Structure formats: structure tokens, C-alpha cells
A and B are shown apart, each in its own frame.
Chain A
Amino acid sequence: MRWCVRIWLAAVVACVASGACSSRDGGGTLAAVRERGVLTYGADLAGGEPYIYEDPADKSRVIGFEVDIMNALAARLGVRAEMKQFAWQNLVPSLERGDFDVAMNGLEATAERADRIRLSQPYFTFAETLAVRAGSPYKTLADLKGKRVGTLSQTVAHDILRAQPLEAVVYEGNVEPYLDLEQGRIDAVLLDNIIAQRYGCTSEHPTIVCLPDDVTRGTYIIGIRKADPELAAAIDSAILAMRADGTLEGILRHAGLWDARQTEPPPALADDSGVRAQAFDADQLQLFLKGAAITLAISLLAFLIAVPLGALLAVARVYGGPVAGGLARTYIELFRGTPVLLQLYVLYYGLGPYYSLGPIEAAVLGLGLNYAAYEAEVYRGALLAIPRGQSEAAKALGLGTWQALWHVLMPQALRGALPAMTNDFVSMLKDSSLVSVITVIELTKRMTIAAVDLRGWLVPGLACAALYLAMSLPLSELARRLERRLARDQRPHAL
């Protein structure tokens, strides 16, 4: 029975990993849509204004120029459009899985996407716009050789940057790259002109300018499954009709997005030949090893902060009296009770205007401060578990409070805490993947990037898992030996 479950689980994992579980391979979506009277489309609200976002006046409503386009388009098919929330990075895989009928959320037309799904007629022509700090010498992408340039992950802009001899810094949101540009952490941002004009060179960022020349142009399209040619044809004719009768222009004008680019012939598919499907080669392996090294370094350094700080907090809680004890408790509740992701954001972006930490520094500090709260409670428990006679014996020898703590109580607390500390360190190794939100490319982030490059999760996923295990297993073994050495006298109770 157990084996059955295991085999079933393994099959599911393999199936998900290979993307082979497409439920709608048979096509026929158009007929289903007409029957249902609803056309569902996958999109991500995190993309924000002006694409698809919550109405500030009524949070239950989603608005945006893409909502308007989808509503008009669905009306032409005689149905109603309904948005489904999905993470942007997963729109294409989710489309393939059959989670919704079409994908529509600033999806650029690329040769790689054309291989995988059907691309509709374009509904918008965008430009990749380079934003720099006012007064900086950079005028073109070529000027930025060797510099740090920000963008969003899995975008055409990211592909363009990776083909250049510069360091691409990958963000998850529209706001953060421009914050970092303003603070000098990066030298430029390459993103779609819609994003650049609404989030970058705005009155909020007087020091940022958008360079006038388009780095390249591309189009947004609606993604349709390969198996749905009828649906694709229906959508294409609807878009062409909307373009011909001015519906599309009206929607784009209403959103303030109408420009000369829309009347010019649409550009060819974005050229992403520089980043076409790769094999897992020595270069990839090297990148994975580098990611693993960053994961390990961040975790080790953060633990070096967490252990002494946690010990101090534990001592303050147990022996600190009302003031120091209260402060320590406040610290612990604050850092333990709020998400470490939020703490990383605050440290990196929130503190940015006052004190600009580098991404690695912020990652180490953030994880260290967070884990100190957990370590503190582990040590507090271990301190309280030491028999009273130990502190009495130390006192009776004339040891002062700090001497007793340092020579008698802390060494014993440490051995008691060792299993929990090992736990926490292994947990930290994996939690360190969160620091990718502040642009650090560690092992997990490397895997997600590689999964795009390699067009599959299986190999990068296995490589990633193997490297995590390669780090955690020796550490567990080391901790086990240390435990055996330190806690010679601590044997399990015979039961």
C-alpha cells in the first residue's frame, strides 16, 4: 500500500516536472467557451497598472486596458470574459495545463513562445526603453558594458540583456528596479515603455530619465494552446476587426497608451535566438555551483549573526530583568511574528533611502536578524532545561553571573540546543532562497532561470535538489559528530 502511494507520488512529480499533464490536448476550447458563455483568461494582478489591476475605487473589480480589450473581444465572440489570477511567470505552463482558455497579460511575441503556444494577432506594440539616472553618460545599451542593468525576470528585456556583455539584475516587481536605479545600486533599467513611463521616469523619480530611442520593439499577444486553432482564428479575426473599426484605438487612447508605434507595421518576432533552448552543459553547471556557493555563504554568515545574537537575547530573556527581558521579548515577537520576506524588503528597499545596503549584505543581515529570534527561543529552552544545581555550584565557587553563564550554563545550553540548531541551519539553507526578491541569484533562483533556458524543470530541479542535499547532508553529519563529542553523557532514556 505504502509503495503504491510512493509510486503514485513519483508519477505525479515526474508528470508535473515534465509538463506532460496537459488536460486539454484534445482542443475544442472554442466550442466549450461558446457553450459556457465565458472566456477565461489567465493574468497576474501583480503586473499592475495599466495592464490589469484592482480598481482603486472598488477592490473587487479588476480594470486595465487589457481587461477592456478582453471584454470587447469576448463580446465579439458572443461570450463574457473572466480573469483568472496566476503568477505571471507561470502563465504559459498554466495555459498548457488547461487552467484557463487563453493567457493575456503583456505576453511578448517571441520565437520561443511561438514554438510552444499559438500567438494571436498583436494588440499592442511596445518599445524596450532604457532608463538611466539624469546626467549619467549612458546613451545606449552598448555604453553599459560591464555595468549592472535591472529588468524583470522572463521578459524579452531580460533576454536582450543576457545577450549583452553586462550584468543583468533580475527583479520581481515593477517598482523595485527603479528604486534601486535611483539609489545607485544599478546603472540602468531596461523594460517595456509602458512600465518605464509609469514606474520609472515619473515625477516621483526626478533623478531618472528614459532615453528617447527604442532599444527594440515588440508586440503583446494573446497566448492560445496549440490544440485550439479554431479559438485562435476567432480571436485573430476579432482583434483585426477591433483594429479596423477603431475599438482598439479607443481603448488604448482611453488608457493613455496610444502612440505612433501602434500605426506602424508591427515588428517581427522578438529575436531571442541568443537564448534559445540550451542543454545542461558545463557552463550551466558552473552557474549552479556559483548559486550554491552564494546560498552557502549567505546561510553561514547569517548563522554567524543569528547564533551570538540569539544567545544574547536568550540570556536577556532569562536573566535580564523586566527592561532587557522585555526588549528581548519584543525583538523576538517582532522578528518571529512577521514574514522574513517582508523583513528583507524593509532592509533592502525600505532602508534604501537612508542607508544603502548591498543585496548580499541585506540578505545576510535580514536572515541573521530573523533567525536570531528563533535561536533565542531554542537557547532559552536549553538554558531552562539545565538543572538548578549547576548554577548553584557555579555560584558556590564564587563565579559571577557572566562567568557562570559563559563557563557553565552556555556550554551546556549549546549542547542541548545542537539538534535544534542543526534543524535551523538546514532550514536557513532553504529559506535563503527568499533573498532572490532582493536580486541575489542563489541556488533556487538559478534553478528557475535555468528552467526557462532549458525549457523544463526536471534537470534543473534535480540539480538544485542534489546541490541542496550536498550542502545539508555533510552539515548534518558534522553536527551529529559535534553532538556526539559534546554530549557524551547525554544518552536517550531507556524505555
Chain B
Amino acid sequence: MISVRTLCKAHGARRVLVDVTAEVARGETIAIVGPSGGGKSTLLRCLNYLEGFDGGEVVIAGVTLRPAMTSAREREVLRALRTRVGMVFQQFNLFPHLTALDNLTLGPRVVKRADRGDAEAGARALLDRVGLGDRAGAYPHELSGGQQQRVAIARALAQEPEVLLFDEPTSALDPEMRDEVMAVIKTLAAGGMTMLVVTHEMQFATDIASRVWVIDRGGIAEDGPPAQVVGEPKTEVAREYFGRLR
């Protein structure tokens, strides 16, 4: 489903990603952990080309991403890719001028030219799925943080993606709201969605992840099942990172 080969990215002299190579199979859930500034978010954002990169390539959902995709044709390719690779942000980024329902239908209607009725029916089903069927007409500011993030997940799902990227989806939430969001992500994992989740919640990571990547200084320091990576970390950086979390 995803194949990352020698991915490199630098901000000036600072190397953000260094020869990252990895494979993700369909239905896997990857928890991406590691110290701040290690390149977790950057790696995630390269996968749907919200950020470009300088070297290597990514093959994701059948599309090959390369450095400097700026031509009109390549931009069309990227737009098509993004309907297949959804993203959920730390700050939710819901559209404040639209209701929850309209946040969900915007993508299908504008990008996929879906009929309004069909889009709304799909959106209502998705809101039901994240437990917010009764809040379809609410504006984002009328929802709690946890509710907003659940709407944001439903919005990403509305484009019927093959892969979902989560960039610290619970970091901006109070502890009691994290659970409701994590519960939604868990059901997605159980449903077989391919997901990459940048997170600092170790319990959550071990619960849902098929594999854990520890990212440090632009590279994948450890890659393995949670029991192995979290339980018996091999590298100093992983040991230190997990130690600090406990």
C-alpha cells in the first residue's frame, strides 16, 4: 500500500529526513513515535505531499511521488492522490463557516462532483459512525474539542480514502476527550483501514498498532511490533524516550 524509498528532505543545512525507507501493507496501523523534532510529522506530511521532499520516492495508493511535483499535470495527480489519502490534523482544522455536515460534504461535492443528496446521506452515516449523528447542523465552535476531532475524522473518511494519516490527533485534547477520539480510531483499525498515526500516547499505540516506528534525527530508529519495540527497545534513543513517558 505504501512504499517509502530513501526519502530525503533538508531545510537548508538541517537534514529533516535522512534516507527513510519503509513498507506498509494494506490494513496495517503504524504508530509513529519519538522525540520532538525528530521528523515524525514531516514524514507523515510527505506521504500526501503537503510537504515536498528533496530525494527518494514514495509510492502510495498506486501513485508515485517524486521531488518537485509542480507542473499542472503533476498537481492534478496530487489532487487525485489526496482523495485517496486522508489526513487528520492536531488542531482539527474544521472549516468554521460550515456546519459539521457541510464540512463533510464539501470534499465529495467539490472534488468528486457528488450529488448533494448522496453526499449528505453519506455524511450523515459517517457522523453516526463517529457518534455525532445528532450534531450534523452544529458549527465547529459549538462542538467540544473531542467532537470536533471526530468530525474531522469523519470529514477525512467522507472522501473514501485508502489510507488515513493522523498527525497527533489527541495532543490538543483534554484527557477525557482523548478517549472518545481514540475509540473512533480503534474501530477504524479494527475495520481494516490502513493508518499511520503520529502520537505520544504509548498505551494507545500498543493497543492499536500493528507496528511501531521510533523516529529520531530524520530516520526510523526502530521498526517492529509494539510488544517488541515498546517492551524491549534496542536503541538508546527508544529506551530514553519510553523511559521519559513512564
Which A residues lie at the B interface, using CB under 8 A? 387, 389-390, 392-400, 403, 407-408, 411-412, 415, 486, 488-489
Contact = CB atoms under 8 A, between A and B. Distances in A.
> For the complex, would chain A's binding face be called helix, strand, loop or mixed by DSSP majority?
helix
A407 B98 CA distance: 10
Nearest to A406: B110
A400 B95 contact: no
25 contacts: A389-B93, A390-B93, A392-B50, A392-B93, A393-B94, A394-B95, A396-B48, A396-B87, A396-B89, A397-B107, A397-B111, A397-B155, A397-B156, A398-B79, A398-B107, A398-B111, A398-B159, A399-B110, A400-B75, A400-B79, A403-B111, A407-B106, A407-B110, A415-B97, A489-B141
Contacts, number: 67
Contacts of A395: 50, 82
Given A399-B111, A408-B95, A488 B139 contact: yes
B95 A398 contact: no
Interface of B: 48, 50, 75, 79-83, 86-87, 89, 91, 93-97, 106-107, 110-111, 139-141, 155-156, 159
A408 B87 CA distance: 17
Contacts of A412: 95-97
Given A412-B97, A415-B97, A397 B141 contact: no
Q: Which 3 A-B pairs have the closest CB atoms?
A: A489-B141, A393-B93, A389-B93
B121 to A, nearest CB: 19
Contacts of A399: 79, 106-107, 110-111
Given A389-B89, A390-B95, A415-B97, A398 B80 contact: yes
Contacts of A392: 50, 89, 93
B96 A397 contact: no
A488 B141 contact: yes
Contacts of B97: 411-412, 415, 486
Contacts of B93: 387, 389-390, 392-393
A307 to B, nearest CB: 18
Contacts of B140: 489
A290 to B, nearest CB: 40
A488 B96 CA distance: 9
Given A396-B50, A407-B106, A489-B96, 16 more contacts: A387-B91, A396-B48, A396-B89, A397-B82, A397-B83, A397-B155, A398-B80, A398-B107, A398-B111, A403-B110, A408-B106, A412-B96, A412-B97, A415-B97, A486-B97, A489-B140
Nearest to A415: B97
B171 to A, nearest CB: 14
A281 B140 CA distance: 56
B127 to A, nearest CB: 17
A394 B156 CA distance: 11
A390 B152 CA distance: 12
Nearest to B82: A398
Contacts of B81: 398
B93 to A, nearest CB: 4
Nearest to B89: A389
Contacts of B82: 395-398
A408 B111 CA distance: 13
A398 B83 contact: yes
A399 B75 CA distance: 11
Contacts of A415: 97
A326 to B, nearest CB: 20
A393 B86 contact: no
A387 B96 CA distance: 11
Nearest to B91: A389
Given A397-B155, A398-B82, A489 B139 contact: yes
Contacts of A393: 87, 89, 93-95
Given A403-B111, A412-B97, A396 B141 contact: no
A488 B139 CA distance: 9
Contacts of B141: 488-489
Nearest to A489: B141
A398 B49 CA distance: 11
Contacts of B95: 390, 393-394, 408, 412
B36 to A, nearest CB: 19
* B75, B87, B140: most-surrounded residue (chain A CB, <10 A): B87
A393 B91 CA distance: 10
A397 B50 contact: no
A399 B110 CA distance: 7
Contacts of A389: 89, 91, 93
Contacts of B86: 396-397
Contacts of B96: 412, 489
Contacts of B75: 400
A328 to B, nearest CB: 22
A486 B98 CA distance: 10
B91 A397 contact: no
Contact of B106 (A387, A397, A486, A488): A397
Nearest to B110: A403
A399 B87 CA distance: 13
A397 B110 CA distance: 10
A397 B89 contact: no
* B50, B89, B110, B111: most-surrounded residue (chain A CB, <10 A): B110
B105 to A, nearest CB: 11
Contacts of A489: 96, 139-141
A204 B27 CA distance: 86
A415 B91 CA distance: 21
A399 B106 CA distance: 9
A403 B95 CA distance: 14
Contacts of B87: 393, 396
Contacts of A398: 79-83, 107, 111, 159
A63 B87 CA distance: 79
Contacts of B89: 389, 392-393, 396
* B93, B111, B156: most-surrounded residue (chain A CB, <10 A): B93
A488 B156 CA distance: 24
Nearest to A397: B107
A370 B140 CA distance: 37
